[in-house]
């Protein structure tokens, strides 16, 4: 495997790659976009920091690419959507620089409280501005933390050590988590209107872009202090400049910017009570070492069949759980393929139901396997990474349900497809015997038992004498051998569902003869 290390990471991380048998490690630090495009063409994995951009063009040019690893948190330089389309795992290292960024945030808070930076500049210029640089105290102030992930939680912990009260806004923060952290849950408006200090620790999304804008600054306390060591653009810079110049904001600190680096003539550079640092969040010896080692370990695991962790476009699965799920995933993929071939006229919704002991497992990877099977014959280059996105782009809704209802089997996977026109088709599968052999055991509520390693001829016919014999003769004349068959009769409707396991598919001539039989209502050849 070719491992392209596009940006400089910890030498220990590089050595971890080099120690793997069969890994060809290419260190390409400082390469131009054109060079990266050329080097990526036969790469199986690419490791980056923040300098190299992995664009849609790079991903499209790398047919062997399996993993892109970012040594750090932000993945703004990686086209995740393009990676997902091509089935490429994108992973980051969210924990390696947690402490470094939290400590930098607190450094900014302290510098915004006691004007150390400005006083230092005055001293070096030969001044003694003791009266000019009177500061404030953190003690008994209210800190508003926007985003209570790992970094936000570490900042809150340090703030409480300084006897600050912490208001926390995070849409995903639970009451129990807030209580365990010792913070008070608050709405965004409550933080904006009540905090003496506000620090940002959220990702940059369409919902968080310019979250702190001109309107937000107007509603803040006079003399508020604002800090951002997360992502540029969450604070609207023009509004912050106005608020600093007017005195609404007493002090601020930025480590990230809407455009990096800011222009040389940016008005941000000329504001005395604004401390600026050049995106130093992860710039400690320890953090640099940690993220480089972490990304190497994670990528090696993913490339060698181990656990996928910190992936941004697929679920992470523990190897032990994956081992248990393996037979079910094989079954699920077959059931997904069967359901698509049974309803080729178009599907609007897929409902996946799990029964029995399987509900105790993490079924998300299994759902992905079913989606992959559904797409097998109708989409190219499908894997567990891109299957959910491809299903979504086809306009097909997909739900999974863990059911406590009684089933006829210890474990059952049931896939129901809602077709255009209102019809539904249902396929059920289970594992049989000590070897956990996959079997199809249900077709449209009819009980059957057939192999998942065969070409299947599925018929719905009037329950009249002679059908099985007719099929046998017709297939025999067509030189198609029948390996097995399963028959389910519905006496109430007067119909039967028959499934024949075949060694090969019938010819068009045989298919025409079968479909023209007056007692046969439906005919479908399923290739699993």
Active site residues: 231, 260, 279
The CB density around residue 15, as the number of other CB atoms within 10 Å, is: 12
435 contact partners, CB below 8 Å, separation of at least 6: none
Is the separation of the CB atoms in 497 and 458 below 8 Å? Answer: yes
Q: How far apart are CA 270 and CA 267, in angstroms?
A: 6
360 contact partners, CB below 8 Å, separation of at least 6: none
Which residue's structure tokens are 């849409």?
Answer: 171
Q: How far apart are CA 378 and CA 211, in angstroms?
A: 42
Adjacency order of strands within the sheet including 24-27: 24-27, 2-5, 45-48, 67-70, 89-91
What DSSP line would sit under 284-336, residue for residue? SHHHHHHHHHHHHHHHHHHHTT--B-SBSSS--B-HHHHHHHHHHHHHHHHHH
Is the separation of the CB atoms in 379 and 336 below 8 Å? Answer: no
Q: How far apart are CA 492 and CA 507, in angstroms?
A: 33
Tell me the two tokens of residue 407: 């089933």
3-class DSSP state of 48: strand
The CB density around residue 279, as the number of other CB atoms within 10 Å, is: 16
Which residue's structure tokens are 């508020």?
Answer: 224
Q: Which of 251, 241, 282 is nearest to 96 (CA)?
A: 282
Tell me the two tokens of residue 305: 């069949």
Instruction: Quote the Cα angle for 306-312-314, to 5°.
Output: 55
Q: How far apart are CA 427 and CA 413, in angstroms?
A: 8
191 phi, psi to nearest 5 deg: -65, -50
1 contact partners, CB below 8 Å, separation of at least 6: 22, 23, 24, 44, 45, 303
Residue 90 DSSP symbol? E
Q: Which of 60, 151, 50 is nearest to 99 (CA)?
A: 151
Q: How far apart are CA 74 and CA 67, in angstroms?
A: 16
The CB density around residue 224, as the number of other CB atoms within 10 Å, is: 23
Q: Taking the CA of residue 60 as centre, how many other CA atoms within 13 Å lie in the half-sphere pointing to its CB?
A: 5
The CB density around residue 367, as the number of other CB atoms within 10 Å, is: 24
Is the separation of the CB atoms in 50 and 24 below 8 Å? Answer: no
């Amino acid at each position: 495997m070719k491992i392209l290390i596009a940006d400089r990471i910890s030498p220990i991380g590089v050595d971890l790659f080099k120690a793997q048998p069969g890994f060809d490690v290419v260190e390409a630090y400082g390469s131009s976009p054109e060079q990266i495009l050329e080097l990526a063409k036969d790469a199986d994995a690419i490791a980056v920091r923040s300098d190299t951009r992995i664009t849609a063009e790079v991903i499209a040019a790398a047919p062997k690419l399996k993993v892109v690893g970012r040594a750090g948190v932000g993945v703004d330089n990686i086209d995740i959507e393009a990676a997902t389309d091509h089935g490429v795992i994108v992973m980051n290292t969210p924990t390696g620089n947690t402490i470094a960024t939290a400590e930098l945030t607190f450094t900014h808070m302290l510098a915004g409280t006691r004007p150390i930076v400005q006083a230092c500049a005055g001293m070096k210029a030969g001044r003694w501005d003791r009266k000019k640089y009177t500061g404030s105290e953190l003690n008994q102030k209210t800190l508003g933390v926007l985003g209570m992930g790992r970094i936000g939680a570490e900042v809150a912990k340090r703030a409480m050590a300084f006897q600050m009260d912490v208001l926390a806004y995070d849409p995903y923060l639970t009451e129990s988590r807030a209580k365990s952290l010792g913070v008070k849950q608050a709405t965004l408006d409550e933080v904006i209107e009540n905090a003496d200090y506000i620090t940002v620790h959220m990702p940059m999304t369409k919902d968080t872009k310019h979250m702190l804008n001109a309107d937000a600054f107007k509603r803040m306390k006079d003399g508020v202090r604002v800090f951002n060591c997360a992502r540029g653009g969450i604070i609207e810079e023009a509004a912050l400049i106005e608020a600093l110049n007017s005195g609404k904001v007493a002090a601020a600190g930025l480590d990230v910017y809407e455009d990096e680096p800011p222009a040389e003539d940016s008005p941000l550079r000329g504001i005395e009570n604004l401390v600026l640092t050049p995106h130093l969040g992860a710039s400690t010896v320890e953090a640099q070492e940690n993220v480089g080692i972490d990304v190497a370990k994670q990528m090696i695991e993913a490339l060698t069949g181990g656990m996928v962790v910190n992936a941004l476009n697929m679920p992470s699965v523990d190897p032990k759980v994956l081992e248990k799920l393996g037979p079910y995933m094989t079954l699920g993929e077959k059931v997904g393929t069967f359901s698509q071939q049974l309803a080729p006229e178009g599907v609007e919704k897929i409902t996946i139901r799990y029964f029995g002991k399987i509900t105790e497992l993490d079924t998300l990877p299994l759902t992905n396997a079913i989606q992959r099977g559904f797409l097998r014959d109708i989409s190219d280059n499908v894997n567990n990474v891109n299957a959910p996105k491809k299903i979504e782009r086809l306009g097909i809704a997909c739900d999974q349900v863990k059911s406590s209802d009684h089933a006829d089997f210890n474990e059952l996977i049931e896939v129901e497809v809602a077709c255009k026109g209102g019809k539904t088709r249902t396929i059920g599968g289970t594992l049989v015997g000590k070897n956990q052999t996959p079997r199809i055991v249900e077709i449209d509520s009819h009980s059957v038992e057939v192999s998942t390693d065969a070409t299947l001829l599925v018929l719905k016919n009037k329950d009249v004498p002679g059908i099985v014999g007719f099929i046998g003769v017709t297939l025999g004349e067509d030189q198609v051998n029948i390996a097995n068959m399963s028959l389910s009769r519905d006496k109430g409707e007067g119909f039967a569902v028959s499934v024949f396991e075949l060694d090969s598919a019938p010819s068009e001539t045989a298919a025409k003869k079968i479909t023209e039989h007056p007692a046969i209502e439906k005919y479908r050849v399923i290739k699993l």
